[in-house]
Chain A
Amino acid sequence: MNDDPTLTQPEIKTRRERGWRSISLVWLVPVAAVAGALGLVWQSYSTRDIPIRIAFADATGIEPGKTEIRYREVVVGTVQSLQFSDDLEQVVAHAEINRDLARYLDTGTRFWLVTARVGPAGISGLNTLLSGSYIAADWDAEPGPQAREFIAEATAPAVPPGTKGRAVVLVSPDSGSVSVGAPILHKGVPMGKVAAVRFDPLSGSVLISGFIEAPYDRMITSGTRFWNVSGIGLELGEGGVQLKVDSLASLLQGGIAFDTPMSGGQTVGRRPVFDLYPDEASARDSLLGDSLQATVEVMSNFEGSVRGLRVGSEVLFRGVKVGQVKHLTAQVEEVEGGSPEIRMQVIYTVEPSRLGLQDVRTAEDTLSLLSTMVERGGLRARLMPASLFSGGLVVQLVEDDQAEPAAIDHESAPFPIMPSLPTPPDTLAVASQNVLDRVAALPVEELMQRAIMLLENVNAIVADGDTRALPADIRSVLDNVNSVAASESLRALPDDLRQAVASVNAVLDRFNGQEGVQKLVSALEEVRAAATYVSDFSVELPGLVASIDGLVAKADALPLEEVVASAGEVLQTANAFLQEDDVKRVPATLSAALEQAEKTLASIETAAGSVNDTLGKFEEQQVSQTLIDALNDLRAAAANVEDASAGLPSLLDDIDRLVATANDLPLNEVVTSADQVLQSADAFLRNEDMEKVPGALSGALEQVQQVLAELQEGGAVRNLNRTLETANAAADSVALAVKDLPELSRRLEELADTAEATIGAYGPGSPVNREVQAAIGDLRSTVRSLDALVEAIRRKPNSLLVGR
């Protein structure tokens, strides 16, 4: 086959170039691939995740390799594996976090598990229902001490991570049903949330961490006050019923409101501490109060009863509230060589700013200032009545210069002891108590008893037979009068009188003729002038009246009790007097007196004749002339009166002086004298002479009885009886009605309460109406939110599955 030598010689040869030129460019392909791979490896190594460990109580919803760690909803890491801690108390999730964020992983980093949550504050984490739980992380932008091991929070923080604002700490004696997530409101607008509620065993109080969102956090100053608005407040006051509901959410999980009523408060630090007050009133009331630290608690021991003092009672200094009572206990004090003494111990607070101590920062400062006031100013605590009528007590801090030296006992536990003073006896309440005691001690009942006995005796007298005989006697007297009238001589009497009148007439005629009238007129004029003069001076009477007023005031202060006692004795005596037999004999004596009167009438008959004679003589002796002379004399007398009235002012002065003197008089003695007089009267009544009086009186009274009997016959008594029976029946009805009265009044009260509540509640602009409207508003917004949710689901059903 190889017969053509030219063909056997290969002209076209495979090039066999040596060196690097023989290497094909195609080798760049694997080189590029390796280089790219190496680059990827390097990149992956340089951005490799940081391993961290997060401890959970349990691994609910955490799946190794799947559960993500998110920061602001951006996945920054994944849980790689789960392990138990050595003590099996916790589950430790080993996770890897993006390297870029490694420098933020400091001790302040928080992790918590996000799962679907439905609560009063709303629904959150719905997307985790399908995609599974994830671990949320929160850290700030300031790198701190690095950390790689963390303990997960049990619950998600109420405040979303990264929210701008200010954290506050509220100190409260109890949580007041405030729970995590509860809104913090200002004028009803939610401006923050409660982030945590925990009990601090050191201070024994509840610390509530709250968060106020920006820009509202600027409102928080040292003058800000927080108070609890949880639940429903029902207040019954003079303004009617007041129902307080702040929002539905606050009803369910509590709520806190704040306000800054005091302008010019200082700016506060990063995590300011405030007191949480139970209600708005006490929050505003505390405005003068200083910070919690400067307020001190002190104790005082008081002897005797502290009835009327209660927790919350005021502590007053010069009438200004400086604190309040915190606690009341009894303290047994061992006394050497004697029985143990029981003292009432009162623990109360004192706020320094209310004492006028301004630049006080700590409780120690306050205490030292109080010590100075106790040692130098004589500051003491004592119990005083809050008011005349309530019977409540307050603790009063008084400055007593005369007080024995004392000092605050700093050694005593649990609080320093403030020295105390006993309650002074001359306080108003004590005085009024004394007056009441004296009034109560008056023997009023005894007096009444004696009066009753007196009336019984009067009754006995009236019932006496002699008294009844009296009318018969009177009738016989009248008969006698009749017979006298019918007598001849009496009939002649008119004629004699007529003659006498005629004589008088004559006298008057003569009187007329001799200018008697004119003289009379002038005399009267002078009298009138004198009267005018007197009236002018009556102007000065007010002063006199004032003096008399003083006199009356003095009389006011008299020992009336004794007088009353004496009066009681008098009545007793009178009683005894009436009980005497002699008194019962009075009617008989009276009848004798009437007989005497009969005789007197007979004498009148003869007297009439004498009158006639006298008138005759009168005419003859020119009486009118004498009358004119008399009038002259009268005129002169009137002139004298005028002169005398000129001296009236001085007279008034004298009276004034007299009254003033009377004012100064020892009226007590007068009263004592009056007492004596009454005692004398007593003695007088006991006198034997008096025994004769009753006889006559009994006769008179018997007659009265008779009259009464006649009255009875006339039907008046029957009518009266009937009236009384009717009245009785009416009284029975009243009694029955009274039995039902308490029930009725209770019902009326209920009705009134209901009506008040109803009227108060449903009036336009009433609190209830407002609250109901607010509640309806809440409901409406809830419904709106639900509407929005439904709408969102309708539009994007898969948002339920994938989250957003």
Chain B
Amino acid sequence: MRARDMGWIGCHNCGAVHDKGSRSCRTCGARLHGRLPNSLQKLWAWLVTGVFFLIPANLYPLISNEVFGHEEGHTILEGIVVFAESGDYLVAGVIFLASFVIPAFKVLVIAILALSIQFHWQLDRRVRHLLYEFVEFIGRWSMIDVFVVALLTGLVHLGAILAFLPGVGAICFALSVICTMLSAQALDSRLIWDGVENE
């Protein structure tokens, strides 16, 4: 039993319920849609862009440290190796998790959700819901790398002796995270149970 089945339309902005046939929300004035238009297309578009940005984000140095005027850059993987070699396994683990595992997992989850909606996979609604919740939750932690870079660049600036500069990889990584977040945002969660109801 869905709101739609009852002839109601919920404003996806403020949540006010309207009768069918209403064109705009009476409380916030937003346009009313039964379902967000082109939701899956947007999701895929942002997801593809996000994945695409992950390639340079891992090939180019995430951060450059300039020691005595000599610039040296490290990619994400190099940074993990450096920390691991120097014995900071915790830091290396956190970076590995934030920079590799989470983004990859997020992309994977969004992709699974989109595919399951598009091809009406028979997945347990509980699992789908958990996946969606996970994407929503993990989104805010994806930016941990970018945050570290921004912090280092802003705080560690000892003139000519030591300085950190954001690398191309950081920008790409940030773009990638933004794109995947937009991708997750584009998903109209109501589509998740549209298919379920149909079964």
A positions within 8 Å CB-CB of B: 1-2, 7-8, 10-15, 23-24, 26-27, 29-30, 33-34, 37, 66, 130-132, 798, 801-803
Contact = CB atoms under 8 A, between A and B. Distances in A.
A27 B69 contact: no
B60 to A, nearest CB: 11
Interface stretch (B32-40, B93-101, B126-134, B140-148): B32-40
A30 B48 contact: yes
Contact of B7 (A7, A798, A803): A7
Given A24-B38, A132-B70, A801-B68, A33 B52 contact: yes
Contacts of B21: 11
Interface of B: 1, 4-7, 9, 20-21, 34-35, 37-38, 41-42, 45-46, 48-49, 52-53, 56, 68-70, 72, 159-161, 179, 186
A649 B69 CA distance: 119
A29 B52 CA distance: 11
Given A11-B20, A131-B68, A802-B69, A26 B46 contact: yes
A7 B37 contact: no
B69 A34 contact: no
Nearest to B53: A33
Contacts of A7: 5-7
A803 B45 contact: no
A27 B52 contact: no
A775 B53 CA distance: 68
A29 B51 CA distance: 12
A66 B38 CA distance: 50
Nearest to A32: B49
Q: Which of A1, A14, A130, A798 has the most CB of B within 10 A?
A: A14
A66 B70 contact: yes
Contact of A37 (B41, B56, B68): B56
Contacts of A802: 68-69, 160
A257 B4 CA distance: 103
Given A11-B20, A132-B70, A801-B161, A30 B5 contact: no
Contacts of A24: 38, 41-42, 45
Given A1-B5, A12-B34, A24-B38, A130 B45 contact: no
B45 A14 contact: no
B52 A131 contact: no
A801 B5 contact: no
Given A30-B52, A801-B69, A802-B69, A15 B37 contact: yes
Contacts of B48: 30
B52 A34 contact: yes
Contacts of A34: 52
Contacts of A8: 5
Contacts of A26: 38, 41-42, 45-46, 186
Contact of B46 (A11, A23, A29): A29
A12 B18 CA distance: 13
Sorted nearest first, the 3 A-B pairs with minimum C-beta distance are A24-B38, A24-B41, A30-B49
A116 to B, nearest CB: 14
Given A11-B7, A26-B42, A798-B159, 4 more contacts: A15-B37, A29-B49, A132-B70, A801-B68
A674 B17 CA distance: 173
Given A24-B41, A26-B42, A798-B160, A803 B52 contact: no
Contacts of B69: 130-131, 801-803
A739 B160 CA distance: 81
Contacts of A15: 37
A37 B9 contact: no
Contacts of B70: 66, 131-132
A13 B53 CA distance: 35
B198 to A, nearest CB: 12
6 contacts: A14-B34, A33-B52, A33-B53, A132-B70, A801-B69, A802-B160
Contacts of B4: 10, 12
A27 B186 CA distance: 13
B34 A130 contact: no
Given A12-B34, A15-B37, A27 B5 contact: no
A802 B162 CA distance: 12
A501 to B, nearest CB: 143
Contact of A29 (B34, B45, B56): B45
Contact of B41 (A1, A23, A131, A798): A23
A24 B40 CA distance: 10
Contacts of A14: 34-35, 37
B65 to A, nearest CB: 13
A479 to B, nearest CB: 136
Nearest to B168: A40
A132 B56 CA distance: 30
A543 to B, nearest CB: 106
B20 A30 contact: no
Contact of B20 (A1, A12, A29): A12
Contacts of A23: 41
Q: Which of A24, A37, A131 has the most CB of B within 10 A?
A: A24
A800 to B, nearest CB: 10
Contacts of B186: 26
Contact of A27 (B1, B41, B160, B179): B41
Contacts of B45: 24, 26-27, 29-30
A132 B70 CA distance: 8
A76 B104 CA distance: 39
Contacts of A132: 70
A798 to B, nearest CB: 5
Given A12-B34, A33-B52, A130 B68 contact: yes
Contacts of A10: 4
A12 B70 CA distance: 64
Contacts of B46: 26, 29-30
Contacts of A1: 1, 5
A788 to B, nearest CB: 21
Contacts of B159: 798
A27 B37 CA distance: 14
Contacts of B9: 12
Contacts of B52: 30, 33-34, 37
A786 B93 CA distance: 54
Name, among B52, B70, B160, the residue most crowded by chain A CB atoms within 10 Å (CB to CB): B160
B136 to A, nearest CB: 20
Count chain B CB atoms within 10 A of each CB in A2, A30, A37, A131 and give the residue with the most. A30
A750 to B, nearest CB: 62
A2 B34 CA distance: 19
A464 to B, nearest CB: 120
Given A7-B7, A33-B49, A130-B69, A801 B160 contact: yes
Contacts of B7: 7, 11
Contacts of A2: 5
A29 B49 CA distance: 7
A26 B36 CA distance: 14
Contacts of B72: 66
A635 B153 CA distance: 151
A85 B134 CA distance: 58
A34 B52 CA distance: 8
Contacts of A13: 34
A405 B145 CA distance: 104
A495 to B, nearest CB: 148
